[in-house]
């Protein structure tokens, strides 16, 4: 059969590519408030980042479930995918960096107090990785359903919590206070967790799956921190030391979060092996 006869041309009774992806709605979601040419770039970069974060949350949720079910192998694929997504997000800042300070100032006032600081999906990613800040929930009180979703995520164990539980299931001695910790609080380093990971790294063959899990976690954090750094440098390049539109200190705030470690013991053991 010729290629001409194989290609479907009549879609009156069939679903199209555009319908499957809901492209009409997706591609009509870029509404410039200023009419400035470069505002389209600004909107689309942030929308693309949000789409990627939606997939990150999907994969992290699957990874947490897999680890809880003792299926570490399944979690590896999901966490590797998260790392690949993060690399795509890092590259997106290069595109936004083509926006100059003068161009941004042409439409910045139209943003009002809207700011990436308010990204609820970014907060959900932080929560999933164990960085919990209950005070940020106030930002989302305008939307009760969204506020409830964030509150639920705040009270759920994160990715590192279930990884530590996997250590305990494997026979490592973990402080019960860590296993039963208040998960609404940001995770703090613990010597028993560090000792367990250190043993994993010192006998890789015996603890191969836990070793693989540890390295996948490091990949996720490493790439996220690179994303944070590129975000900070892009903001500095475009607005310098100005305050953010949402009232944050801008570059100062973005620099401060670079010091936070999501999985601190996995970085500390590198010094002690």
Nearest to 212 by CA among 118, 83, 39, 72: 72
In a domain, 14, yes or no: no
Residue 116: predicted pLDDT: 81
Residue 208: predicted pLDDT: 98
pLDDT by 10-residue block (mean), the chain, 273 residues: 68 91 96 95 97 98 98 98 98 96 94 86 96 93 96 97 98 98 96 98 98 98 96 92 67 87 97 94
Residue 249: predicted pLDDT: 65
pTM: 0.92
- Total number of domains constituting the chain: 1
In a domain, 8, yes or no: no
Contact yes or no for 210/192 (Cβ under 8 A): no
Binding site residues for heme, as ranges? 231
How far separated are the first and last CA of the chain, in Å rounded? 63
Q: Could you tell me if residue 12 is left (phi over 0), alpha (psi between -120 and 50 degrees) or otherwise beta?
A: alpha
Binding site residues for substrate, as ranges? 104, 108, 245
In a domain, 24, yes or no: no
Q: Assign residue 226 the CATH number of its domain.
A: 1.20.58.480
Binding site residues, as ranges? 104, 108, 231, 245
Query: For tokens 């026979």, what's the residue?
Result: 171
Contact yes or no for 273/202 (Cβ under 8 A): yes
In a domain, 19, yes or no: no
Question: Residue 265 belongs to what domain range?
Answer: 36-234+249-271
In a domain, 103, yes or no: yes
Residue 140: predicted pLDDT: 94
Joined together, the tokens standing for residue 218 give 């490091």
């Amino acid at each position: 059969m010729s290629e001409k006869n194989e290609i479907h041309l009549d879609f009156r009774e069939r679903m199209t590519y555009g319908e499957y992806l809901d492209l009409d709605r997706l591609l009509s979601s870029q509404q410039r408030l200023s009419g400035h040419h470069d505002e389209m770039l600004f909107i689309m970069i942030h929308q693309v980042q949000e789409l990627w974060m939606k997939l990150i949350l999907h994969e992290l949720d699957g990874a947490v479930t897999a680890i809880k079910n003792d299926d570490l192998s399944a979690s590896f694929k999901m966490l590797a995918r998260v790392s690949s997504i993060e690399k795509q997000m890092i590259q997106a800042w290069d595109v936004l960096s083509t926006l100059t300070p003068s161009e941004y100032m042409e439409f910045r006032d139209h943003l009002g107090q809207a700011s990436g600081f308010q990204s609820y999906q970014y907060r959900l990613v932080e929560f999933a990785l164990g960085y919990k800040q209950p005070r940020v929930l106030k930002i989302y009180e305008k939307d009760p359903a969204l506020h409830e979703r964030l509150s639920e995520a705040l009270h759920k164990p994160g990715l590192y919590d279930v990884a530590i539980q996997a250590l305990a299931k494997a026979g490592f001695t973990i402080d019960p206070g860590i296993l039963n910790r208040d998960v609404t609080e940001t995770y703090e380093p613990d010597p028993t967790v560090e000792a367990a990971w250190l043993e994993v790294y010192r006998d890789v063959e015996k603890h191969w799956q836990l070793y693989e899990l540890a390295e996948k976690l490091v990949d996720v954090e490493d790439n996220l921190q690179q994303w944070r750094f590129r975000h900070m440098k892009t903001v500095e390049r475009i607005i310098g030391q100005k305050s953010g539109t949402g009232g944050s200190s801008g570059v100062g705030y973005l620099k401060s979060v670079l010091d936070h470690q999501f999985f601190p013991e996995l970085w500390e053991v590198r010094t002690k092996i």
